[in-house]
Structure 1
Amino acid sequence: MMAHHGWPTAEGIEQLLREALAPTRLEVIDESAAHAGHAGANGLGHGTHFRVRIAAPALAGLPRVAAHRLVYDALRPAFAAGLHALALEVLPA
């Protein structure tokens, strides 16, 4: 889950989401380098800002807020480890 600096990785985020939500489609992109120098960035250029595109039966038909809550709940360990921002796109299952 953690990179060698202790920050979340795309692979770790993907693993958490696969275990919690069994997605049919999942894309995790580390966008941290684009946020270097921004409040909450770690100065290392990775592990703080991610974009997630996900489709999962568990999210199908849920209101947007409820679907986002399930994803954020699954990623609590990543936020505890330094994930600062998440751009989330819930796709049709």
Structure 2
Amino acid sequence: MGDDGTGESHFTVTVESAAFTGLTRVARQRLINTALADLLATRIHALAIRATAPGE
């Protein structure tokens, strides 16, 4: 994820973390949205998230 200079504001991110174990898809996305709050407020227009726990 990052700004390549083209002005793109739509990104896809894949995150695997043990912190996601036992969480719903929505709870996982909320954690990621919280971590990226500053970027989501200013530089990211759309973010597609695939969040998994190890072994999923």
Give the TM-score of the pair, scaled to structure 2: 0.76
Alignment of 1:1-93 (within 5 A): 10-11=1-2, 45-93=6-54
1:78 counterpart letter in structure 2: L
Q: Structure 1: which 5+ runs fail to align?
A: 1-9, 12-29, 31-43
Kept in 1, the 8 Å contact 2:19–2:53? The answer is: no
Give the TM-score of the pair, scaled to structure 1: 0.49
RMSD between superposed Cα atoms in Å: 2.2
1:75 counterpart letter in structure 2: L
When Rg is computed on C-alpha atoms for both structures, the one with the higher figure is: 1
Q: Structure 2: which 5+ runs fail to align?
A: none
Structure 1 residues 47, 78: closer, same or farther in 2, change over 3 A?
farther
Bigger relative contact order, structure 1 or 2 (CA pairs below 8 A, ≥6 apart): 2
How far apart, in 1, do the equivalents of 2:52 and 2:31 lie?
14
Deviation digits for residues 12-58 of structure 1 (CA, Å, limit 9, x no counterpart): xxxxxxxxxxxxxxxxxx7xxxxxxxxxxxxx633411100001111
Identity %: 36
1:50 counterpart letter in structure 2: F
Deviation at 1:81, TM superposition (A): 1.9
